[in-house]
Amino acid sequence: MINKKNKIIAGLEVGTTKIVILVGEILMNKVINIIGIGQCLSKGIDKGNINNLNSLISCIKKAIYQAEVIAECHISSVYLALSNQYIKCKNEIGIVPIYNNEVTQHDIEYAIYTAQSVKLNHDYNILHVIPQEYSIDQDFGIKNPIGLSGFRMQAAVHLITYKNTLKQNLIKAVESCNIQVNKIIFSGLASSQAVLTLEEKQSGVCMIDIGSGNINIVIYINGYIQYSCVLPYAGNTVTNDIAYIFNTSFHNAEIIKKKYGSIVLSELTASELIEISNLYGISTKKMQQNILVDVIEARYTELLNMINDIILKIQTKLYHSGKPYFLGSGIVITGGGSKTTSLKYLAEKIFNTQVRIGKPINIQTYNDQILNPDYSTVIGLLKYGIQVNNHTINDINKPKNLKKWFDYFQNWVKKIIKIQ
């Protein structure tokens, strides 16, 4: 929600574990000051799939009410995050003639429109169209082609697509709370807005957002997105392992993970005895902490190796096509799962590069707890919303007047005939 008078914006993340809504005030320097937060444990949704609409609506309403009370405002619309294994990506190219010998915004829009006019599976639509770079005739790697002369322009774009029913059901849940959805934004894209710097995107970086139900992966090279995807395994996968090994409930396993969990047991600290409760909450036995560490390390090793295989595959593909592929800024891990003790140590061993834990940057708030990796996605929604309203995000939709496109092309053909 953006109110020009009060300069207020809101972002909503409907996650597997919790629902979070943040209300931000846009300051004069475009910095966001968080003035309200609402949270509620999630019910009715798992890994982006809604399994109980009424329960989910009730949770969203509770979170919205909390945020409105704290921010002392009425929330009428939000930017909404979307993450699910059925979110896919592809890179496409659009080629158009330069009609007036000099590139205009009009040329750019139609080149991008051409690039996104690809055939998708019948149940998929485009969520984001993100320009990467342009080329004019034989000149490649152009960031902004406006004003340059040439005969033909090529636009490379990154498309993020989604399964139709996912978006429809999520919007239905939010609108049932009398809240309008300004725009749905891929969670990985939002998180990268919150935790990555321009320098990291330019030099090459892979952002990994580890949530409860999904892991979002976004790779930037030369300042633009080269690859994005969602893995349906994350923090809850680790919790399920603990519950199985310790023969306890998921709830108890989550408590044990947060209180005693680590990937590496410090040599300076003796392995503690952990009290284990059965499925009914009754304390039944005690186990050594090192067993818990082994369980967590094994699962995170598997997950990080899976991600490393994806990164290497993308880098190999770029290398063979003659494109930049190096991740000069290494890996940035964010999300609630990034807070696991010693994760950075394990990640540096597996990725064989520098790793940092990403927290939201360039944000002001009354509550410093908001500035931790748990809130990267929802803070990124606010940042994305500001850029959309300032027209600085390069998401470009279909041109509104197709007749102008056909007139444009016909005039160019007449021009070529005249030259000949």
What pLDDT does 299 receive? 95
What pLDDT does 176 receive? 94
| Burial readout 45-72 (b: 16 or more C-beta within 10 A, e: otherwise) | bbbbbbeeeeebbebbbbbbebbbebbe
What pLDDT does 383 receive? 93
What pLDDT does 315 receive? 96
Per-residue pLDDT of the chain (420 residues; tens, 9 = 90+): 444 455 889 999 999 889 999 999 988 877 899 999 999 999 988 877 888 999 999 999 999 999 999 999 999 999 999 998 889 999 999 998 887 788 888 889 889 989 888 888 888 899 999 999 999 988 888 889 998 988 889 999 999 999 888 888 899 999 999 999 999 999 999 999 999 999 999 999 999 999 999 999 999 999 999 999 999 999 999 999 999 988 888 988 898 898 888 888 764 455 677 777 766 666 667 778 888 899 999 999 999 999 999 999 999 999 998 888 999 999 999 999 999 989 999 999 999 999 999 999 999 998 889 999 999 999 999 999 888 766 544 454 445 455 555 555 555 545 544 444
pTM score of the predicted model:
0.88
What pLDDT does 361 receive? 93
What pLDDT does 408 receive? 55
What pLDDT does 89 receive? 92
What pLDDT does 353 receive? 96
What pLDDT does 4 receive? 43
What pLDDT does 280 receive? 63
What pLDDT does 46 receive? 83
Tell me the pLDDT tens digit for each residue of 315-369: 999 999 888 899 999 999 999 999 998 999 999 999 999 999 999 999 999 888 9
Q: Please state the CATH superfamily assignment of the domain spanning residues 198-358 in this structure.
A: ATPase, nucleotide binding domain (3.30.420.40)
What pLDDT does 334 receive? 97
**Residue-range domain boundaries for the chain:** 88-162+394-419, 198-358
CATH 3.30.1490.110 at 88-162+394-419, yes or no: yes
Length of the chain: 420
